[in-house]
Chains A and B, each alone.
Chain A
Amino acid sequence: MPFKKLRIEIMNRVGYILLVSGSRFNKLSITTIRELKRAFAQLEDDATAHAIVLSGYPGESFAAGADIGQMVHFSPHEALHFAELGQSLFDQIESCAKPVIAALNGITMGGGCDLSMSCDIRLASESLRIGHSGAKLGIITGFCGTHKLPQIVGKNLAREIFMTSEIYTAAEALRMELVDRVYHDNEFWQGVTAFAERIASHPLTALSAAKRLINAAEDIDLRSGCLLERETATHINVMQPLAPMI
């Protein structure tokens, strides 16, 4: 089945999912979220992709949040279903066995901010405008943002971002560690592809084991995390007999 809201391609072991909704800003409508789930499943299955980049490049937005026109008439029941759909996409990205890089080319608001936080690494261009406008719309986010944002920037900054509904720049996002790297606009895509290709050049077994362990570390105690690490590392390292001694 073809995609209407995005396109995918694979180049130099990197799979790209590019949101192209056709309108000025990409919105996370029900259709877009369903297509994203299908696109991630497809690239996860494709052995030629070792890493996945999600972006709205070269458009103005990464994702400008949910579709308010669609949401305004939601009943609480429909809202719950919508949150479940969004959360199932984010869960799929987090449990995807390949590193997922969010390349934030521009406006990244609300659900778009949550979507970027379900990715492993966030790279931004200087045009990044990021924030959460729920309090301005009379809602909170339903896409795991209330948990992920405090984990990434700390509780106090998360509360400020939610409460003010303000839009933050790339420099501010970098200071808060909401994004990992910022590139000049004209070096952005080159920087993203080079970064993704470097990661994709590494063995996938090690990449996915690291991803799994780091995600687990967020939720479990130190001793169990170390136990898990020992077992995973033993298994992974035994499969790499030619690796240099470390």
Chain B
Amino acid sequence: MPEKLCTIQSRSNGIAVVAIPGSSDASARELLEAIRRQTSALAGKDDINGLILTSSASGFCRCLIECSTSVRDAGELSSFGQQLTFSLEKTGKPCIAAIEGECSGLGLEIALACDFIVASEAAHFGFTGIAAGLIPFCGGSQRLSRLVGKSKTKELIYSGDLVNAAEAHRIGLINRLYPEGHALAETVKLIEHICTRSPSAIRIGGEIVNAGYDIDLQTACMLERDAFALCFASFDQQEGMQAFLDKRTPQFKGE
């Protein structure tokens, strides 16, 4: 059963920690399918406010891509993988990857589709597929170059080398770096902090950042203006600003 490949490790205070397999004998397709089912089910739950994708120190979603696949099958796998990464970007809830070990290949593709990556000093990152003649296929080449720039992306993909967590932090691949063994605990703290903020502002803000990134400034700012105005029809705006003026903690409803 694909569900077993991707389980919910814990669920409390509205935060779901999704356990991605460290390494697996399952096919890439089965892994992607399992992650898609689990994350889209959680995205639809009203009592879930944030998602963390994590795995053990052994790695983050390491698997073998079958070399026997036909061109048609490979195309289908890529299309399926890209659908998964797009849907991860559209959960409307904060989604953070917490990395404790090696995050390469398919694992890096998935981590790149999260809102951002937090890692421990034991983590390593890269696209190692080149040695087997593979390139990223779930949108990773595009997301990585938008994140760390074209030349760093080429270096990583051409060389197939892993970079350590400090280097990943330096080039902007990961947002936050913590001591070994602390990635998940720190990410839980961070997402709990984020969940004290307005869920509707986070949802709208995330959508506008994603939508605005690939379009020109004028059009992006037009979208932003409309979204900004929309906030002023929300409960959260009234509550947030009134709480600020009253110097108290806001109680958001996400509406």
Give chain A's interface residues, CB within 8 Å of chain B: 68-69, 71-72, 74-80, 83-84, 87, 134-142, 144-151, 153-160, 162-166, 176, 218-219
A77 and B229 contacting across the interface, CB-CB below 8 Å: yes
Does residue B46 face the partner (Cβ distance < 8 Å to A)?
no
B252 and A138 contacting across the interface, CB-CB below 8 Å: yes
A142 and B190 contacting across the interface, CB-CB below 8 Å: no
Enumerate 7 A-B pairs (CB-CB under 8 Å) in ascending A order.
Answer: A87-B221, A135-B197, A136-B250, A137-B240, A144-B220, A147-B213, A164-B193
Q: Which residues of A contact B210 (CB under 8 A)?
A: 155
B201 and A138 contacting across the interface, CB-CB below 8 Å: yes
- Given contacts A155-B147, A157-B172, A160-B116, whether A140 and B232 have CB atoms under 8 Å apart is no
B190 and A164 contacting across the interface, CB-CB below 8 Å: yes
Q: Which residues of A contact B94 (CB under 8 A)?
A: 163
**Helix, strand, loop or mixed for chain A's interface?**
helix
CA distance A159 to B197 in the complex (A): 13
Instruction: State how many angstroms separate the Cβ of A215 from the closest Cβ of chain B.
Output: 9
Closest to B234 in A: A138
Does residue B33 face the partner (Cβ distance < 8 Å to A)?
no
B213 and A140 contacting across the interface, CB-CB below 8 Å: no
Q: Which residues of A contact B217 (CB under 8 A)?
A: 144, 147-148, 218-219
Does residue B231 face the partner (Cβ distance < 8 Å to A)?
yes
A154 and B147 contacting across the interface, CB-CB below 8 Å: yes
Number of chain B residues close to chain A: CB under 8 A: 53
B147 and A156 contacting across the interface, CB-CB below 8 Å: yes
B221 and A147 contacting across the interface, CB-CB below 8 Å: yes
Does residue B131 face the partner (Cβ distance < 8 Å to A)?
no
Does residue B242 face the partner (Cβ distance < 8 Å to A)?
yes
A68 and B244 contacting across the interface, CB-CB below 8 Å: yes
- Given contacts A72-B245, A142-B224, whether A156 and B115 have CB atoms under 8 Å apart is yes
Closest to B206 in A: A159
Q: Which residues of B contact A68 (CB under 8 A)?
A: 241, 244-245
Instruction: State how many angstroms separate the Cβ of A67 from the closest Cβ of chain B.
Output: 11
The contact of A138 among B194, B241, B245, by CB within 8 Å, is B241
CA distance A176 to B230 in the complex (A): 30
Q: Which residues of B contact A141 (CB under 8 A)?
A: 224, 228
Of the candidates A77, A153, A156, A157, the one having the most CB atoms from chain B within 10 angstroms of its own CB is: A156
Within 8 A of A (CB), among B177-224: 190, 193-194, 197-198, 200-202, 204-206, 208-210, 212-213, 216-217, 220-221, 224
B228 and A79 contacting across the interface, CB-CB below 8 Å: yes
Instruction: State how many angstroms separate the Cβ of B109 from the closest Cβ of chain A.
Output: 15
CA distance A4 to B135 in the complex (A): 59
Q: Which residues of B contact A218 (CB under 8 A)?
A: 217
B242 and A72 contacting across the interface, CB-CB below 8 Å: yes
15 more contacts with CB within 8 A, not counting A135-B198, A144-B224, A156-B115, are A74-B232, A76-B232, A77-B229, A79-B232, A138-B234, A138-B235, A140-B208, A146-B227, A153-B172, A154-B147, A158-B209, A159-B205, A162-B209, A164-B197, A219-B216
Does residue B146 face the partner (Cβ distance < 8 Å to A)?
yes
A138 and B212 contacting across the interface, CB-CB below 8 Å: no
Q: Which residues of B contact A148 (CB under 8 A)?
A: 217
Instruction: State how many angstroms separate the Cβ of B62 from the closest Cβ of chain A.
Output: 22
Query: Nearest 10 pairs between A and B by C-beta?
Result: A142-B228, A138-B240, A138-B236, A135-B197, A156-B116, A80-B229, A147-B220, A137-B240, A79-B232, A72-B241
